[in-house]
Structure 1
Amino acid sequence: MAWRTLHRICGMMLIALVFVAGIRSGMFFDGDVYGVGAGFGMLLLLMMAAKRHDGIQGWGIPGTGMISSGLVNLDKGLRVVLGCICGMILMYVLHGIGRPLSLEGTMKEIILWGSYASFTAVAWRISRTGDGLRLMQIGWHLLGAVLCGSALLAVYGLLELPYGIYHTADADISASGARLGGLLQYPNTFGAVMAAFLLERLFALPPVLRTRTGTLRAAAALLPYTAALLLTESRGAWLAAALACAAGFAKERRAFAPLLVAAAAPLASAALLYRQLADAKLAPAVLPGLLWLAGLWAGGILAGQLLCRWRQSGGPRRRYAAPGALGAAALLAAAAGAVILHQVQDRTLGGVATLSARRLLYSDAWQLARSSLWLGRGGETWRQSYLAMQSQPYVGAEVHSGYMDILLNTGVIGLLLVLVLVSFMVARLIAVSSRLMPAVLVLIVHAAVDFDWSFGLVWLLLLWLTVMGFATTPSGREVQNGPHTTQRRKRFKIGRKRLAVYKTKREYPPLQSLSLLRVTAIILLAGWVLLAAALGISEVKERWAASEPPGAQTALLQSSLKWNPANTEATLSLADWLPPSQRIPLLKRSLVYAPNHPELSWKLAEAYSLRGQSEEAAAWYLAAINRDRFNDVKQTRAVLKLASLADWHRTAGESVRSVEAARTGLNILKRYRSLAANLREMDSHRNDREFDLSILAVRQTTRLEKTLNGGGARKHAARQPEQADIPARR
């Protein structure tokens, strides 16, 4: 009884942690990653510390290698999944030991993948019993209801959801002027998540239709999930959902006709709801809007019920009932498709700009990946590098492809591990005829064209579906491989015989090695939890500092850096409050952890310029501009600051330093002018950052040339330059 109670409590805690991940922007931001990750690790430690009631002194999580394969029937599928995840963790650990582009980004990836491993291990242990599997299924439906329901409530103004709706006047981005992002705050990823929940519910219908019981309840979720998916206006999510749905029908060809009959009416109602909300730009009048929602929802479900009864009706017209119902359903589906296409026809046909932007981004990412093709450069490789190597001034801190991001971070080896992982998930779900395969497939496919995997929640959903699929049979019953069942009786009997032998031979070497492995695993897991907690505390202190007065800010930021010296954002914020003499060593220490960080280089150049050290300032200005080429504010400011330093040295009688500062300023201006000219000469280019040659920078040409050529002294007093002529952009 105690074990069952602990089992249930751990299941509820696991689901609660995933809920926190979903509510906190899908586990996208660093603070949420560390907090939720530490929670998963502590939960796994709790379960590892529990004792089993079957005579074994302590149990291990399948697939972690903590118990001998002869003692317990370990599941091969889980070993593959956890093996690939542990392989990714090892890749990032190796990068962390070396010299990654960002130590903080690499540690974040270690926490993320450790969270996935902990979640999978705990979820699998819970799902191996009937009660636990039902708890996981209930948690899945509750999470879907929270994500979808909160988004729709925000549309009707009943819930305040900051950044839940993205408004834009650009028709290439949104046909209606508004797109639904929900709690994830990003419409494309939110669309993929809604597609996964929709397909899970859609392919749960066939068993219900066969038994003719509970059809109303099973079809009730189709309208809200479909409406939420449509309101995201994510063409990639729509296409991924269509491909995954086609794969599901290909696997279950017999289910096509009954599913079409049961789902056509709710889907058509969702299309009408989408049209009404899109016309209102996702801001409908509350009471009429809710009445419209209720009417379409009820009408769609009841119409689906009628079509199902028509198809299954008997009597003299029985031979015409099924074809008639199927034809009516096909007409409804076609009408729904026409409504959707009419609403987004301009954006659907005019997506050339988006495609060209993705093509440009992927081309630059591939060039970056080639620099370290096999092992990658560690976590946040793209974020740390794209400003230095982008071929055009586009905005893209994310690489918009989960697979390309993995390639950049961990190279071909890491990408192969992920491909093995996702391929095995799909293949195993197909092998066990799981209805969850389409829902898994849509998340895997859409990650190829967007940065879904930057949201930890997407990986958790993927693993959640996989665990539930592995733990169920085609009929939805529990797979009999739990700790209290006897699947594969032959191997189980062999295991019991070996256990009897081990009991009679207490000094048998494998038990000694088992204890060592168990202790090692607990130590590593505890160390990982402490790392996640330390990084989380650093992030919390950095956030608190933003709302405190200057004195308290400095103390909090310094404390944040004690918990995580690699926290570059805390370093940049703290540098603003310190004098140049203290700012320079602080920034140099931070550069050890992020050697190519453009803002650290820029802050260091500014600090040296405030101290009048023109040689160091010039070197760091060049480095900062090389790491952020298409930043016209930085280009202009560097020229102005070097011109000021040249004048100051000249009036102070330091002609050599004056000439060197002027020469560096002219070189920067020459490169700046050339870069702007080359961009203008391109036939078609993206200039999202509005990069161009500034008039203020051009006006410094004569000033710098005069200093370089030894012109007369300027008629002003020498002064230490303290502020640039234009504000810097962080």
Structure 2
Amino acid sequence: MARKTLHRNCGMMLIALVLVAGIRSGMFFDGDIYGIGAGFGVLLLLMMGTKRHGGIQGQEVHGIGMMPGLVNLDKGLRVVLGCICGMILMYVLHAIGRPLSLEGTMKEIILWGSYGSFAAVAWRICRAGDGLRMMQAGWHLMGAVLCGGALLAVYGLLELPYGIYHTADADISATGARLGGLLQYPNTFGAVMAAFLLERLFALPSVLRNGTGTLRAAAALLPLLPYTAALLLTESRGAWLAAALVCAAGFAKERRAFAPLLVAAAAPLASAALLYRQLAEAKLAPAVLPGLLWLAGLWAGGVLAGLLLCRWRHSGGPRRRYAAPGALGAAALLAAAAGAVILHQVQDRTLGGAATLSARRLMYSDAWQLARSSLWLGRGGETWRQSYLAIQSQPYVGAEVHSGYMDILLNAGVIGFLLVLVLVSFIVARLIAVSSRLMPAAFVLIGHAAVDFDWSFGLVWLLLLWLTVMGFAAASSGREVQNGPDTAQRRKPFKIEKKLLAVYEGNQGNRSLQSLPLLRVTTIVLLAGWVLLAAVLGISEVKERGVASESPARQIALLQSSLRWSPANTEAALSLANWLPPSQRIPLLMESLVYAPNHPGLSWKLAEAYSLRGESEEAAAWYIAAIDRDRFNSIKQTRAVLKLASLADWHRTAGDSARSVEAARAGLEILKRYRSLAADLREMDDHRNDREFDLSMLAARQANRLEKTLKGGTRKHAARQPVKADISARR
């Protein structure tokens, strides 16, 4: 009883943590990653500290026929956790060395540790009592929260500041508004909704049988409309295409399921298409009461029509042989009409979007060139974010590389890429092998990550592992229920005897290993150290983000405390630098550069600090370094030219002609490179300029001023002290 209570409580806490991850923007931001990750680690420590794995296996197995399934389950766990531990080891090696971002590398360690902790705890829960049913109920609750929260935001009943993305660009949205939901990003939200939709869609054949009651059938059809409507409202072409391809693959594998699925789902999907058209025309801002009435009517009508089509298909009487073809034909007409409504609504975006595709091609090309610089091992966490401003061939906007696989290649190299490939391939292969209905849902998450940065959302990995655990556990329990121990023994007596012997010997070996205190203590110490790291980074992040509403003195204290908890927190260092005089600012920024040597913001702050001190030589060097790390930034380019021109004038007035000439020469060099870069960009055919990069008139006007200073011109400029005049510029 105590074990059942423990598993039930741990299961509820696990589901609650994933719900928090979904509510907190899909575990995208650093503060959420650290806090939720620490929670997963504490759960795993709790379960490890209360009982041994071998004890559970020996006490909870109540039949011989049950053992093969559990042994296979344990093998699957070893493969999954082995790949995850391999990724953690890769990032640990980066952290020991010199990564592009120590903070980003530690974040990846916390993320992958979170995935491993979640998988281990979920695995244990699914093997105990009603744990599988609890995890299945939690999955449906997760879908209801994500989908329900998004639709409530559409009707104005829930305030989500970034839940709906408005744009006038037809290449981005055909209707002017896209649904991002709690994840705040339409493309990833679309992939997640596609996963929940496919999970429910391929569950229908096992539910809608001849003997199925009306209420149970209606409950099975109920989630189809909201999931489909949410998927359509994202206007994510990648998610739509991935869902369509995976759905077709699922039908190809289970051809007999096509007809019952089409008959049952056609009406709810057609209702969702009508709802999508109505909401899209209102730009996701419908009148509340009429909109809710329209939603209720379409929802109820779709479910009732689906039930009627199913009953028609299985009806008896003299026209029985015409019932199934007639219902199938009517369902096909409804599906075709729904498709026509959707395509008519988004035809411009479906047929267009060349600009978006060109941006992706540029990004992938630049990312590949960056990956080649450290192909086998990568450069650690946040490689793209730290590097893309320096290496981008054109001024597009993209702090995230729009491919999860490419991001892994940049961070962990070919070795990490192969580990992830083995992990996802194993998941798909095992789900296909056990004929799990969860395979399409898992495959759409894996497939869509190839064309977008879904894996930057920790929730997507958690959902994929959730599906994996449920699929393996459900397949094992299904075989147990179907065959039973006696049947399994009769069918393969020799094979099962060998398996039982292997299980027994394996259990004996496990007991001898687990009896070693050193092994258990080492495992617990490593996990506890990981939890401590997550907690420390989380505290630093909380303090850094808590400064907004505080007084200046309190802000300085919080930022200093944040850096004491995590010296690698570059955002805290940048914020603190704004409050410090140049003499204190420079050592702080230099120390932060040790943890993020290519960070463009740190280089720029250092250049500004040296400029405030009047040290033109150091300022020029750091201005050049900062611009090299953020090439297509017109504001920085212009400001660097202006500051160096001012420093040249100041040195000349002070009688230091040598330093004046050096500052003027550096300013002219930056201006020359700035002008050349802008000219090269204008000469490109079909170039992208999302950042509106061009030569500014203010920078161009400094050419004569710098040349006169360089040539010893006699034009007088009022000398000014940078330390006093530029104080306002640092805020």
Same fold (TM over 0.5): yes
Q: State the shift of 1:609 in Å.
A: 0.5
Cα contact 2:153–2:159 (8 A) shared by 1? yes
| Alignment-mate amino acid for residue 644 of structure 1 | S
* Distance in 2 between residues matched to 1:667 and 1:152, nearest whole Å: 55
For 1:693, what is the secondary structure of its paired residue?
A: coil
Q: State the shift of 1:171 in Å.
A: 1.1
Mapping of residues 387-406 of structure 1, within 5 Å:
387-406=389-408
* Distance in 1 between residues matched to 2:156 and 2:525, nearest whole Å: 49
Residue of structure 1 equivalent to 2:141: 142
Mapping of residues 23-422 of structure 1, within 5 Å:
23-51=23-51, 75-213=74-212, 214-422=216-424
Q: State the shift of 1:51 in Å.
A: 2.2
Cα contact 1:128–1:478 (8 A) shared by 2? no
* Distance in 2 between residues matched to 1:56 and 1:259, nearest whole Å: 40
* Distance in 2 between residues matched to 1:59 and 1:399, nearest whole Å: 48
| Alignment-mate amino acid for residue 22 of structure 2 | G
Residue of structure 1 equivalent to 2:609: 607
CA distance 1:39–1:706, change in 2 (3 Å)? same
* Distance in 2 between residues matched to 1:502 and 1:382, nearest whole Å: 43
**Partner of residue 663 from structure 1, selected from 642, 665, 687:** 665
* Distance in 1 between residues matched to 2:283 and 2:479, nearest whole Å: 44
For 2:678, what is the secondary structure of its paired residue?
A: helix
Residue of structure 1 equivalent to 2:560: 558
For 1:166, what is the secondary structure of its paired residue?
A: strand
Cα contact 2:7–2:128 (8 A) shared by 1? no
Residue of structure 2 equivalent to 1:436: 438
Residue of structure 1 equivalent to 2:541: 539
Q: State the shift of 1:54 in Å.
A: 7.8
- Structure 1 alignment gaps of length 5 or more: 61-68
For 2:632, what is the secondary structure of its paired residue?
A: coil
| Alignment-mate amino acid for residue 203 of structure 1 | F
Q: State the shift of 1:314 in Å.
A: 1.3
* Distance in 1 between residues matched to 2:315 and 2:656, nearest whole Å: 100
**Partner of residue 635 from structure 2, selected from 630, 633, 636:** 633
| Alignment-mate amino acid for residue 38 of structure 1 | A
CA distance 1:343–1:199, change in 2 (3 Å)? same
* Distance in 1 between residues matched to 2:298 and 2:518, nearest whole Å: 62
* Distance in 1 between residues matched to 2:510 and 2:172, nearest whole Å: 66
* Distance in 1 between residues matched to 2:117 and 2:549, nearest whole Å: 34
* Distance in 1 between residues matched to 2:421 and 2:614, nearest whole Å: 53
CA distance 1:602–1:502, change in 2 (3 Å)? closer
* Distance in 2 between residues matched to 1:723 and 1:342, nearest whole Å: 59
1:670-714 CA deviation, whole Å, 9 max, x = no partner? Answer: 000000011111111111111110111011111110111112262
| Alignment-mate amino acid for residue 714 of structure 2 | G
For 1:435, what is the secondary structure of its paired residue?
A: coil
- Percent identity, aligned pairs only? 83
CA distance 1:609–1:204, change in 2 (3 Å)? same
Cα contact 1:166–1:181 (8 A) shared by 2? yes
| Alignment-mate amino acid for residue 418 of structure 2 | L
* Distance in 1 between residues matched to 2:482 and 2:320, nearest whole Å: 41
| Alignment-mate amino acid for residue 408 of structure 1 | L
Q: State the shift of 1:402 in Å.
A: 0.3
1:360-394 CA deviation, whole Å, 9 max, x = no partner? Answer: 11111111111111110000000000000101111
Cα contact 1:637–1:726 (8 A) shared by 2? no
| Alignment-mate amino acid for residue 564 of structure 2 | K
Cα contact 1:365–1:382 (8 A) shared by 2? yes
CA distance 1:715–1:99, change in 2 (3 Å)? closer
* Distance in 2 between residues matched to 1:16 and 1:56, nearest whole Å: 24
Cα contact 2:22–2:146 (8 A) shared by 1? yes
Residue of structure 1 equivalent to 2:65: none
| Alignment-mate amino acid for residue 39 of structure 1 | G
Cα contact 1:382–1:399 (8 A) shared by 2? yes
For 1:643, what is the secondary structure of its paired residue?
A: helix
Mapping of residues 474-623 of structure 1, within 5 Å:
490-492=498-500, 495-496=503-504, 510=513, 514-623=516-625
CA distance 1:217–1:555, change in 2 (3 Å)? same
* Distance in 2 between residues matched to 1:199 and 1:282, nearest whole Å: 24
* Distance in 2 between residues matched to 1:91 and 1:388, nearest whole Å: 25
| Alignment-mate amino acid for residue 381 of structure 2 | G
CA distance 1:474–1:523, change in 2 (3 Å)? closer
| Alignment-mate amino acid for residue 223 of structure 1 | L
Cα contact 1:388–1:629 (8 A) shared by 2? yes
For 1:411, what is the secondary structure of its paired residue?
A: helix
| Alignment-mate amino acid for residue 195 of structure 1 | A
* Distance in 2 between residues matched to 1:355 and 1:432, nearest whole Å: 37
* Distance in 2 between residues matched to 1:353 and 1:725, nearest whole Å: 42
* Distance in 1 between residues matched to 2:57 and 2:258, nearest whole Å: 50
**Partner of residue 678 from structure 2, selected from 676, 681, 690:** 676
- Structure 2 alignment gaps of length 5 or more: 61-67, 490-495
1:519-573 CA deviation, whole Å, 9 max, x = no partner? Answer: 1110100000000000000000001112111000000000000000000000000
Structure 1 or 2: more helix by fraction: 2
For 1:75, what is the secondary structure of its paired residue?
A: helix
Residue of structure 2 equivalent to 1:63: none
Q: State the shift of 1:75 in Å.
A: 1.6
* Distance in 1 between residues matched to 2:445 and 2:405, nearest whole Å: 12
| Alignment-mate amino acid for residue 12 of structure 1 | M
The count of corresponding residues between Structure 1 and Structure 2 is: 711
| Alignment-mate amino acid for residue 564 of structure 1 | S
Cα contact 1:426–1:441 (8 A) shared by 2? yes
What's the C-alpha RMSD, in Å, of the aligned pairs?
2.4
Cα contact 2:54–2:510 (8 A) shared by 1? no
* Distance in 2 between residues matched to 1:142 and 1:687, nearest whole Å: 43
* Distance in 1 between residues matched to 2:481 and 2:535, nearest whole Å: 36
Q: State the shift of 1:653 in Å.
A: 1.0
CA distance 1:689–1:467, change in 2 (3 Å)? same
CA distance 1:58–1:631, change in 2 (3 Å)? farther
CA distance 1:567–1:497, change in 2 (3 Å)? closer
Cα contact 2:4–2:128 (8 A) shared by 1? no
Cα contact 1:645–1:721 (8 A) shared by 2? no
Cα contact 2:582–2:612 (8 A) shared by 1? yes
| Alignment-mate amino acid for residue 48 of structure 2 | M
CA distance 1:557–1:477, change in 2 (3 Å)? farther
* Distance in 2 between residues matched to 1:115 and 1:134, nearest whole Å: 23
For 1:442, what is the secondary structure of its paired residue?
A: helix
TM-score using structure 1 length: 0.94
* Distance in 2 between residues matched to 1:518 and 1:235, nearest whole Å: 49
TM-score using structure 2 length: 0.94
For 1:373, what is the secondary structure of its paired residue?
A: coil
Q: State the shift of 1:594 in Å.
A: 0.1
Q: State the shift of 1:720 in Å.
A: 3.4
For 1:99, what is the secondary structure of its paired residue?
A: coil
Q: State the shift of 1:480 in Å.
A: 11
Q: State the shift of 1:209 in Å.
A: 2.0
Q: State the shift of 1:210 in Å.
A: 2.8
| Alignment-mate amino acid for residue 249 of structure 1 | F
1:557-599 CA deviation, whole Å, 9 max, x = no partner? Answer: 0000000000000000000000000000000000000000000
* Distance in 2 between residues matched to 1:190 and 1:592, nearest whole Å: 37
CA distance 1:696–1:478, change in 2 (3 Å)? farther
Residue of structure 1 equivalent to 2:20: 20
Q: State the shift of 1:499 in Å.
A: 6.3
| Alignment-mate amino acid for residue 172 of structure 1 | D
CA distance 1:393–1:5, change in 2 (3 Å)? same
Q: State the shift of 1:313 in Å.
A: 1.0
Cα contact 2:4–2:129 (8 A) shared by 1? no
1:431-487 CA deviation, whole Å, 9 max, x = no partner? Answer: 0000000000000010001000000000000000000001012895778999xxx99
| Alignment-mate amino acid for residue 165 of structure 2 | Y
1:148-182 CA deviation, whole Å, 9 max, x = no partner? Answer: 00111111111111211111111111111111111
CA distance 1:305–1:234, change in 2 (3 Å)? same
